[in-house]
Chain A
Amino acid sequence: MNEGARPVDHETTLVGRAQGGDASAFASLVRGVGPALERFALRLLGDPHEAQDVTQDAILEAWRGIGGFRGEARFGTWLHRILLSRSYDRLRRRRPTTELSDALADDLAHDGDGPAREASAREFEELVRSRIDRLPPTQRATLLLRLDQGLSYQEIAYVLGSTRNAVRMNLVAARKRLAEELRPHVDLGGGGA
């Protein structure tokens, strides 16, 4: 990612200090990405308690492993990579569950004989989130890293341990699926096909 020299230098300094055992420097690095990290965990896992656990675990793992961080990515990107790995462990252990928001989608889809009723803003927001939650984990992670963190394809590939092309394919698949599932609930004015 294209960043100004000053923040990068500042981050490099902090990383160096953290590698020397300076917990306050490490804390400062973490606080810089903390809100984004929590958002990512929550959107990825859906459950606040699990997200909290995973975020904490990832931070502590990062602290233990900061000595091995060679600056191949930004600190925040590296931390997301650790968090994602932890999240996958959780997701693998999960049993499939029924989405509560399915009821909302059904309600919107079958309300009356005509076409699916247009969702209100709040309903639509809820529906979007539920549909993102239902994406396969890798697609979901890819989309969230792009959307929320604004990471480049290359950076997302680093977090996922994947390739740039795979990131493209995941994004296309995720967005295509979202568009297909949400289209019945949106009035696109004159632009609809």
Chain B
Amino acid sequence: MSTDCPFLSDVLLLGDGELSFERAVTVEAHLAVCPSCAATEELLFRVESVALREADLGAIDAALARLDDPVVETGWTPWLVAACALLALGFFAPRPVPTREPAVARGGSDTVEVAAHEDQAQETARVATEPGGTDRFALPPPHRRRIDVQELLAGETSVELVAAQVRGGGLAASASLVSLLASDDDRVRQRALEVARRADDAVVVEGLVERVTTVGDRGAWDVLADLSARGTESALGLGLDDERRAAALAALERVGTTEARDEVVAHARSATATEFAHALETLRRLDPRTALRVLVEQDQDPEWRPVIVGVVRSDPEHWLPALHEAVRRGDVLVARAACEVLAAHGDTRSTDALADAVARRGLRDAALAALVELGGESAWRIAARQVARRPALATHFDGAEAAGGALARGVETWSDVPLATLIELLGRCGGEESFAALDRLIASGLQSSALPTALARAGGEDAVARLVDLLDQPRLGPAAVEALGVLPVGRVVPELLRRFDDDRRSRIHEALVRIAGQDLGRERADWTAWWNDRG
């Protein structure tokens, strides 16, 4: 690398798009005439294309799970003081005389006695008012009673108590809790939700879903989201049929919380194709940016591509501009994925966005491949110019063969790109279309010495017959000899030996050395003997 070039610093910054327009134009022009800077720029492009990788350390979930930790919360000092005080009180308080009664859990001014065994709990849940536990009473078994509203409203302890009752399997209690979830009295409804959050009971969950789907009850949704976060399944995967799931999605949209959005994301990622489209549509209305991310992530799976086509085509006026914005300004990994989506599902407007993305370092490959795949005169010309400016791209990026196709279509009409450059690039890109285009150029009588080499590169063994035909042409013959020497194909040797005369001795000798991997000298007889010995 030339460290003396005064342009080097700006060459290193060109891909960032932060140079002034005038300076960027000057630097671009400089790249065309300075091989050293062009090579450095190309090298950086490759380096920065491979520098990224995904990481999933699990740190995000772990950190978020700790947000409720008192010492993490804002202003945690008072919590700590209070906790210390409670600990101290607990330590110095008179200890109750041990009895044979169930274990006691303390909370606030009330105390809930929770049986050590669940079946015992059903029979012996007790409440005592502090201090002294003088006002104790025993609950009857849960299946014998419904929830008493006054009891429910009595205090925090009653919530725990009723939740224990519901957990105990009392169908009547569960059913009555479900009815309380729909109470007109806000206070009763809030209490019922608190019980539902603690009870985690199947009947109650069904009731919560009912509330969400029928009236868009945000509180019910919060409880559902909380329960599903604790467990393993999405709240939308709680055994709903299609109709009810659709209703639940609509309800989530009405609820509109971040938990609701996260739930839709989780559902979309595990949904069937039909459900995916529906979930994504909901998500799009809730949070367009997240919806786009989910869309491009899903497109990475080839089996999902037809589904993505359907989604994009269902509303191109939304999805295409969103994808265009992503390739222009989204973070690099999303932008790359968006390029792939546009390659398959874009329209003519996508060409401009992809052309802009070509200038973003780290995106050039993806954008270029997308342009080529997207096709159309404009897209192909942009792709061809990029390849013409950086020949190494032709052998480096995944869309090289398709780029060859683009070049092949433009080779006879694009007067702004030198023909010799196009021919060389066709050779580098390879593929059937490149080969056919080169073959057409030869057939047209074009006498470019670049043609045989390009043909050999593009066609490999398929080019042998054509190149042998060219051996006797005065202008293309010498280049054809060189091109045959590049191909590791033994059957060209007799053709070369037949032409081992004074005029072409030097070139044919070089070609034979390359093919044989050894130098037998400049005499035809020695090479003929070697060939015959090989049988």
Contacts and interface: CB of A to CB of B under 8 A. Distances in A.
Interface string A125-162: 10011001000000000011011111011000000000
Contacts of B40: 179, 183
Contacts, number: 190
A65 B288 CA distance: 28
Interface residues of A, number: 73
B57 A66 contact: no
Contacts of A1: 329
Interface residues of B, number: 67
Contacts of A28: 258, 261-262
Given A60-B63, A128-B50, A132-B51, A190 B36 contact: no
Contact of A191 (B329, B331, B391): B391
Contacts of B257: 24
A122 to B, nearest CB: 10
A4 interface: yes
Interface in B31-62: 35-36, 38-40, 42-44, 46-48, 50-60, 62
B395 A189 contact: yes
Contacts of A146: 16
Interface in B419-476: 424, 428
B289 A148 contact: no
Interface in B369-423: 390-392, 394-395
Contacts of B18: 152-153, 168
Interface string B353-368: 0000000111000000
B47 A178 contact: yes
A190 B63 CA distance: 50
Contact of B13 (A37, A53, A172): A172
Nearest to A122: B50
Nearest to B225: A24
Given A3-B329, A153-B16, A38 B68 contact: no
Given A14-B258, A23-B67, A180-B1, A125 B43 contact: no
Given A21-B74, A175-B44, A193 B2 contact: yes
Nearest to B361: A147
A72 B210 CA distance: 43
Quick one: which of B44, B48, B394 has the most chain A CB within 10 A? B48
B290 to A, nearest CB: 7
A65 B72 CA distance: 10
A115 interface: no
Interface SS majority for chain A? helix
A55 B289 contact: no
Given A66-B74, A193-B1, A37 B51 contact: no
B48 A147 contact: yes
Given A148-B331, A188-B42, A193 B36 contact: yes
A175 B15 CA distance: 12
B392 A188 contact: yes
Contacts of A36: 331
A38 B55 contact: yes
Given A183-B43, A188-B42, A188-B392, A148 B332 contact: yes
B287 interface: yes
A175 B45 CA distance: 10
A121 B361 CA distance: 19
B9 interface: yes
A183 B153 CA distance: 75
Nearest to B74: A64
A143 B362 CA distance: 12
A191 B51 contact: no
Interface string A29-68: 0111011111101110000100111011001100111110
A105 interface: no
Contacts of B424: 190
Given A10-B289, A150-B331, A179-B44, 18 more contacts: A4-B325, A24-B257, A26-B67, A30-B60, A31-B60, A32-B289, A36-B331, A38-B59, A39-B52, A39-B54, A55-B57, A128-B47, A129-B51, A147-B332, A188-B42, A189-B394, A189-B428, A191-B392
Interface of A: 1-4, 6-7, 10, 14, 21, 23-28, 30-32, 34-39, 41-43, 48, 51-53, 55-56, 59-60, 63-67, 121, 124-125, 128-129, 132, 143-144, 146-150, 152-153, 168, 171-172, 175-176, 178-180, 182-183, 186-193
User: What 5 pairs between A and B have smallest CB-CB spacing?
Assistant: A193-B36, A28-B258, A55-B59, A189-B392, A59-B63
